[in-house]
Amino acid sequence: MGRAKKVVLAYSGGVDTSVCIPYLKEEWGVEEVITLAADLGQGDELEPIRKKALKSGAAQSLVADATERFIQDYAFPAIQANALYENRYPLSTALARPLIAKLLVEAAEEYGADAVAHGCTGKGNDQVRFDVSIAALNPNLKVLAPAREWGMSREETIAYGEQFGIPSPVKKSSPYSIDRNLLGRSIEAGPLEDPWNEPLEEVFLLTEAIANTPDQPKYVEISFEQGLPVALNGQTLSPVNLISQLNDLAGKHGVGRIDMIENRLVGIKSREIYEAPALLVLIQAHRDLESLTLTADVTHYKRGIEETYSQLVYNGLWYSPLKAALDAFVQQTQVQVSGTVRIKLFKGTALTVGRKSVNSLYTPDLATYGSDDKFDHKAAEGFIYVWGLPTRVWSQKVKG
Ligand code: ARG
């Protein structure tokens, strides 16, 4: 008896997920492996990948075009939540996992599979995100993770695959481990494992080196409706087009690089390089528009929600009751967040230099230092008397 009869396997076309196909069948007694490759705007050609799965022994090879869903249902809510893990990483990889999990579960239900599988190893965050998301969506499905158990080295994996006609990688494989989708790229391993090593220019693809960026700044106006990005420079764009155009604009000016040591859920510190030009600029612009349209108390309270939200997404709890409750809070706050933010892209920086909204709470009459000032200065005295009362009582007692 095998571990499962029919399995839907998340498939990328790489050696590891390809080797999963014969491994599941030969070692774990799976009768039928159906592969699923998700297009999340990573720029790979899907047709060769689809064929490769069949050559590697898949009974069926599915391709899901999910870029629109990815941006609309996963990236945009995260922008509304200003989601940055450890205040820096905009979760470009993490956001893709709950969607891939959903695609796997949908396919398993459609094709009557009793398990789903993925090629993650046991050291990363992604295995957690897949396993927990799948369990949340359909607790009756088994989750198989062959690469977590097989204990083969890179060379052994390649040799195992060769027995089943899986070609070893043609190019001398890159020392880096790279994940990519429309939101950005995550790069780790190789020389980056030494936190003191500066990343070589070769790791970057979406962002220009400062030395090659234009000598003139570029202004970009980003418009939001209820917290969702809808237009660039006055032109209404679909979510996918908006992200890809802004990736190009910001990347050309060297905006969007991150180099950080982050804390993985499994307890390991890891060195990560990210490129996420559009996503970072959008979060910044969105936050600026919120500062114009939300009251002080909502703004401040939301910061705590954002922190928790980012941790939940990073830690694989996209489909959880707490995440759903936080979503409801965030949605409620976004009703007034409509308007336009002007950003200046120049030499690796994105500066917010203007913002406007029909819902602006900024009140010139109150803020001005000019003669048309409407603020009641005398009222400040009484306010400070009451506000400072506990401090004066304490000071009198201790120091008086
Ligand atoms: N550390 C990031 C995360 O957990 C990215 C991991 C992506 N994988 C990679 N091969 N770089 O979301």
Answer yes or no: do 112 and 150 share one domain: yes
Structure tokens at 94: 């993490």
DSSP state of 355: E
- List CB contacts of 309: < 8 A, sequence separation 6 or more: 78, 81, 83, 323, 326, 330
Q: Which of the four pLDDT bands, split at 50, 70 and 90, describes residue 1?
A: low
Containing domain of residue 131, as a range?
6-66+91-162
Answer yes or no: do 263 and 393 share one domain: no
Structure tokens at 13: 């076309």
Residue among 186, 268, 312, 315 whose CB has most ligand 1 atoms within 8 A, to mutate: 186
Cα–Cα distance for residue pair 321/326, rounded to 1 Å: 9
Answer yes or no: do 144 and 235 share one domain: no
Mean pLDDT value across the chain: 95
Instruction: Take atom 4 of ligand 1 and give the residue whose Cα is closest.
Output: 125
Ligand 1 centre to CA of 171 (Å) is 23
Asked if 186 and 199 touch (Cβ cutoff 8 Å), the reply is: no
* Residue 231 within a domain: yes
For ligand 1, what atom is nearest to the CA of residue 125?
4
87-99: per-residue pLDDT in tens?
Answer: 999 999 999 999 9
Structure tokens at 389: 């009362």
User: Which tops the pLDDT comparison, 68 or 400?
Assistant: 68
Ligand 1 centre to CA of 384 (Å) is 50
Q: List residues bridging with 10 in a β-sheet.
A: 36
Could you tell me if the CB of 273 is within 6 A of ligand 1?
no
* Residue 304 within a domain: no
* Residue 383 within a domain: yes
130-176: per-residue pLDDT in tens?
Answer: 999 999 999 999 999 999 999 998 889 999 999 999 988 766 678 89
- Matching residue, tokens 């491994």: 23
Answer yes or no: do 287 and 253 share one domain: yes
For ligand 1, what atom is nearest to the CA of residue 85?
12
Ligand 1 centre to CA of 251 (Å) is 20
Ligand 1 centre to CA of 68 (Å) is 21
Ligand 1 centre to CA of 129 (Å) is 11
Q: For helices 296-314 and 277-293, what crossing angle results, to 10°?
A: 150
Instruction: Take atom 1 of ligand 1 and give the residue whose Cα is closest.
Output: 272
Could you tell me if the CB of 59 is within 6 A of ligand 1?
no
Answer yes or no: do 151 and 260 share one domain: no
Could you tell me if the CB of 177 is within 6 A of ligand 1?
yes
Answer yes or no: do 388 and 281 share one domain: no
Backbone dihedral angles phi then psi of residue 144, each to the nearest 5 degrees = -110, 135
* Residue 200 within a domain: yes
355-382: per-residue pLDDT in tens?
Answer: 999 999 998 888 888 888 888 888 999 9
Could you tell me if the CB of 178 is within 6 A of ligand 1?
yes
* Residue 45 within a domain: yes
Ligand 1 centre to CA of 310 (Å) is 15
pLDDT value at position 171? Answer: 66
Residue 6 has pLDDT above 80, yes or no: yes
For ligand 1, what atom is nearest to the CA of residue 272?
1
Mean pLDDT computed over 251-280: 97
265 burial via Cβ count (<10 Å: 0-12, 13-18, 19+): middle
| DSSP-derived 3-state class of residue 299 | helix
Residue 235 has pLDDT above 90, yes or no: yes
Helix, strand, coil share of the chain (percent; to 5): 45, 20, 35
Sign of the torsion angle spanned by Cα atoms 256, 259, 265, 266 = positive
* Residue 351 within a domain: yes
Active site residues: 16, 97, 126, 177
User: Which tops the pLDDT comparison, 173 or 111?
Assistant: 111
220-231: per-residue pLDDT in tens?
Answer: 999 999 999 999
Q: List residues bridging with 274 in a β-sheet.
A: 186, 258
Could you tell me if the CB of 93 is within 6 A of ligand 1?
yes
Answer yes or no: do 347 and 204 share one domain: yes
pLDDT value at position 73? Answer: 98
Answer yes or no: do 152 and 207 share one domain: no
Answer yes or no: do 250 and 199 share one domain: yes
| DSSP-derived 3-state class of residue 171 | coil
Answer yes or no: do 13 and 120 share one domain: yes
Residue among 85, 129, 179 whose CB has most ligand 1 atoms within 8 A, to mutate: 179
Total domains in the fold of the chain: 3
Answer yes or no: do 127 and 224 share one domain: no
Could you tell me if the CB of 338 is within 6 A of ligand 1?
no
* Residue 115 within a domain: yes
* Residue 306 within a domain: no
Helix ranges restricted to H, the chain: 15-26, 46-55, 67-69, 76-80, 96-111, 126-137, 146-149, 154-163, 239-252, 277-293, 296-314, 321-333, 364-367, 377-387, 389-399
266-278: per-residue pLDDT in tens?
Answer: 999 999 999 999 9
Answer yes or no: do 221 and 352 share one domain: yes
**pTM exceeding the 0.85 threshold for the entire prediction:** yes
Asked if 259 and 199 touch (Cβ cutoff 8 Å), the reply is: yes
Asked if 288 and 339 touch (Cβ cutoff 8 Å), the reply is: no
For ligand 1, what atom is nearest to the CA of residue 92?
12
12-54: per-residue pLDDT in tens?
Answer: 998 999 999 999 999 999 999 999 999 999 988 899 999 999 9
CATH code: domain of residue 152: 3.40.50.620
In order, the DSSP letters of 111-122 are HT-SEEE----S
Cα–Cα distance for residue pair 136/381, rounded to 1 Å: 56
For ligand 1, what atom is nearest to the CA of residue 124?
4
